[in-house]
Amino acid sequence: MSVFDTPWGDGPGGPDHEHDILLIAGSRPEVARLAPVAASVAAADRIRGITVATGPDPMVVHETFEALGVPTDITILLPGDVAPDMADTAAALLTRLDRLMVDQDPSAILVHGGGTAAAMAATVAFWRRIPVVHMQAGMGTDDLLCPFPQEAHRRVIGQLASLFLTTGGSTLGSPLGPNVITVGDTVNSLPDPVDDACAAVLRRVRGERRTLVLVDLRRPSSVPVLADLAALVDRYPRLEVVLTGSLTTGDPARMPPRHARITVVPELSLPDELTALAAATALVSDDHDLVVDAPGLGTLAVLVDGPNVPQPGDSIRSIAAPDAVPAVAQVLDGDHGRRPVPGDGLEAARTEQAVAWMFGLCRSPQLPEDRPAGHDDVAGASPEEEPTDA
């Protein structure tokens, strides 16, 4: 669907909703956070949610929305002559997102993190005086260059946003003001993997606070990685490994010895792989696109025999196949603390509730499950009647 195709017949917000919100994603990790919110918005039926696929590769974003069971309402394609560098991509996004804002005239936009598309969307919305709701708001790290450029973008968006949705507690040294609401990480609202074996591993990882390493290998040159996996698992008693990719369907002699904590799944669907990647501490893969997605889901990545393009604060390491597993051991020994934030599956519903509160559709920004006893939710009250605590 092009930028000017409206999926409803009676204006931007549809016939039955006073308020609409654009959920703008520019990468697969952003879709993993926004798709559950879109589903919650549709289920609550208080706001019209409009999903927008954009970014450097908008069709990948479009297909990821669809794979996660959420229709893509608008896909913003970039001109065919746009160079792959950041400046040209950002310039093309600015003009096309501006046309989108004028055409749709939304009540607000929702963006996640600090991707280029999120930064451009927040900038254009600010110019058009459209409220910005920012998920994963504030400072993610103490280092402006790590991850690069997402951390800097996240801080810029924080200066433009009206509502700040954080994953847990206060953000690092970032006084965002009164409209800060903790909703959790909405990736935890994704459904459990369809694959039974992968789902069983994730239940152990979450329930027993185990460590997960996802290994996705597709090229014959990556075979040396397999030989070291059993030793890695033996070294760390609380480590689980999910091994996937076309390499697992080759010569059985290449495979690591059978191990109770190495789960082989020859092919993971995209939703299952994103869910597993979000739960993992580290990824080992020769799939460049998957490795690029990992930092956005909070996972350190080892790119096997891939091109290494150093960047400030880069969290992707390009390692020769024989050295990939030792590199993972260094990550595990460092105990870097990037454990998945425990979730209860209500993160997307909390996000919808917070947005509805911002629009004055309910009295409290909290779900009934999260409120003290006796605290009622009365529709129609304005946010000013009950401000949140920072």
Asked if residue 55 lies in contact with residue 121, where contact means CB atoms within 8 angstroms, the answer is: no
- When pLDDT is cut at 50, 70 and 90, the band that residue 335 belongs to is low
**268-285: average pLDDT:** 94
- When pLDDT is cut at 50, 70 and 90, the band that residue 326 belongs to is very high
- Rounded Cα distance, 203 and 197, in Å: 10
- Is 308 a residue whose pLDDT tops 70? no
Asked if residue 182 lies in contact with residue 354, where contact means CB atoms within 8 angstroms, the answer is: no
pTM of the model: 0.87
pLDDT value for 380: 45
- Which range of residues forms the domain containing residue 131? 20-185+343-385
Any domain includes 390: no
3-state class (DSSP) for residue 320: coil
Per-residue pLDDT tens for 68-109? 999 999 999 988 777 677 889 999 999 999 999 999 999 999
**What's the CATH code of the domain at 288?**
3.40.50.2000
Regarding whether 351 and 240 lie in a shared domain, the answer is no
Regarding whether 223 and 79 lie in a shared domain, the answer is no
Regarding whether 117 and 95 lie in a shared domain, the answer is yes
Regarding whether 320 and 369 lie in a shared domain, the answer is no
Any domain includes 178: yes
- Rounded Cα distance, 385 and 96, in Å: 37
Regarding whether 108 and 25 lie in a shared domain, the answer is yes
Any domain includes 235: yes
Regarding whether 207 and 123 lie in a shared domain, the answer is no
Q: Which of 145, 151, 300, 277 is nearest to 216 (CA)?
A: 277
Any domain includes 262: yes
Per-residue pLDDT tens for 229-252? 999 999 999 999 999 998 888 777
Any domain includes 4: no
The helix or strand, by DSSP H or E, that contains position 93, with its residue range, turns out to be helix 86-104
- When pLDDT is cut at 50, 70 and 90, the band that residue 387 belongs to is very low
Domain tally for the chain?
A: 2
Any domain includes 44: yes
Starting at the edge strand that comes first in sequence, how are the strands of the sheet with 74-75 ordered?
Answer: 74-75, 48-53, 20-25, 108-112, 132-135, 163-166, 180-182
Any domain includes 7: no
pLDDT value for 355: 97
Regarding whether 72 and 29 lie in a shared domain, the answer is yes
Any domain includes 359: yes
Regarding whether 133 and 88 lie in a shared domain, the answer is yes
